[in-house]
Amino acid sequence: MEFVKVERKERLATVTIDRPQAMNALNRQVLEELSGVFAALREEEEILVAILTGSGDRAFVAGADIGAMADMSVEEARAFADLGQKTFFEIECSPLVVIAAINGFALGGGCELAMACDMRIASEKARLGQPEVNLGVIPGFGGTQRLARLIGRSQAKRLIFTGELVKAQPALALGLVDQVVPADELLVTCQELGHLIARKGPLAIRAAKRAIGRGLDLTLEQGCAFEAEEFGQLFASWDQTEGMKAFLQKREPSFQGK
């Protein structure tokens, strides 16, 4: 991997987009490497949480690589959008809990990438937005869809139609990010959250992620039925027996993900 680095510690992986000379902008190679990394992490049962960030302190991901896009044909642009969407679905549908550590600009494709994560923690220096209309195009990696689902239709239209950037605290008020912390505390905060989640029952965490993700596309009744199925299936697991036995015995559980 040239542009995507992975570090593993206990049950947590830190995935860093490392292209600082381009403010971590997304080109075809970066997207393919990201997709490959998350496909590989999917097979590592000991990893439960991933922190996704960008190298340096200026940008999470400043956007898609405009230099690479400028001369694309219609067919090439559509294929590039398809690749970005496929990559972000790989992240969104990953069995891992993915935490975006937004350490600077998260614009265009960078904002879309952050929205594909399960949670978003931002540095107080972060700036987010979908400024594609300034270039005569629209978000192509899922931004028109995820932003409206995340912050509501009207607010999504405002951000996309104006192309304006949002500072960290207003992004928190909108629901675009979940927490804002000082820049020097960003990774530590994400790691603490990641380790907290990683101590829980792995099967339960993955079932909860499936239930939330699937349920949003169903009616409430259908979503509750899906939740009940996931709940029931966990009673066939070793972790359920261990978790409830540990509670009754007033001790910490030792989950094994089976």
pLDDT in tens, 145-155: 999 999 999 99
221, burial (CB in 10 Å: exposed 0-12, middle 13-18, buried 19+)? exposed
Rounded mean pLDDT of the chain?
94
Beta pairing, strands 49-54 & 4-9:
unpaired
CB contact at 8 A, 189 and 121: yes
Instruction: Tell me the pLDDT tens digit for each residue of 67-103.
Output: 888 899 999 999 999 999 999 999 999 999 999 999 9
The mean per-residue pLDDT over the stretch 112-141 comes to 97
pLDDT digits (tens, 9 = 90+) for 49-67: 999 999 998 999 998 888 8
What pLDDT does residue 237 have? 93
> Where does the chain hold its CATH 1.10.12.10 domain(s)?
202-248
CATH code linked to domain 202-248: 1.10.12.10
Q: What fold is seen in the domain 4-198? A: 2-enoyl-CoA Hydratase; Chain A, domain 1 (3.90.226)
Q: What pLDDT does residue 247 have?
A: 92
pLDDT at position 191 is 96
CB neighbour burial string for 85-104, b if at least 16 within 10 angstroms, e if fewer: bebbebbbebbbbbbbbbbb
CA dist 135 and 66 (Å) reads 9
Residues present in the chain in total: 258
| Catalytic positions | 112, 132
Cα separation, 185 vs 101, whole angstroms: 10
Report percent pLDDT > 90 for the chain. Answer: 86
- The pLDDT of residue 57: 87
Measured distance CA(113)–CA(8) in Å, rounded: 21
Of residues 107, 25, 17, the one with CA closest to residue 55: 17
The count of other CB atoms within 10 Å of the CB of residue 254 is 9
pLDDT tens for residues 173-194?
A: 999 999 999 999 999 999 999 9
Residue 97 host element (H or E) = strand 97-102
Q: 77 and 123 in contact (C-beta within 8 Å)?
A: no
Where do the CATH 3.90.226.10 domains begin and end in the chain? 4-198
**Is the per-residue pLDDT at 40 higher than 90?**
yes
Predicted confidence (pLDDT) at residue 45 exceeds the cutoff of 90: no
What pLDDT is recorded for position 133? Answer: 96
Cite the beta strand spans of 108-223 per DSSP E.
119-123, 127-129, 166-167, 179-181
Sign of CA dihedral 23, 26, 29, 34: positive
Summarize the confidence of residues 128-133 as an average pLDDT: 97
